[in-house]
Amino acid sequence: MTRVLVIDDEPPVRQMVRKSLDKLGYEVSEATDGATALKLLGEEAIDLVITDLYMPNMDGIEFTIRLAQKSPRPGLIAISGGGFMEKGSLLETARRLGADATLDKPFSVQELLDTVTAVLQRGDTT
């Protein structure tokens, strides 16, 4: 079974992603920030991480940098609705740091599922 870790400080986003992936048979874990997520990654085998970029404690950019140092590393999708930076530029930064794909918030369930499928099918991220 494919295991996905969703990192976002907004419960509605985590719930939407979880429900969408649960329906397809993915096993989904959740974290509210990068620090909690790194702890979970040390305890569980994860195939794919979906992370927000703006979060308390450890943001998604720092998390992306730390995840890139892991080997093998799970696939990574960065998501963002913006903030003090234009979201396109922030998402591009995440991609340069190792994100396999990015999604602008708000995104549709279909966009999410298409992106998850594409990243998992690459098979070269682990």
Question: What tens digit of pLDDT does each residue of 1-48 get?
Answer: 999 999 999 999 999 999 999 999 999 999 999 999 999 999 999 999
What is the reported pTM? 0.92
Mean pLDDT, the chain, rounded, equals 92
Give the domain ranges of the chain.
3-119
- Specify whether domain 3-119 bears CATH 1.20.1440.230: no
pLDDT at 78: 97
Annotate 64-101 with b (16+ C-beta within 10 A) or e (fewer). Answer: bebbeeeeebbbbbbbbbeeeeebeebbebbeebbbbb
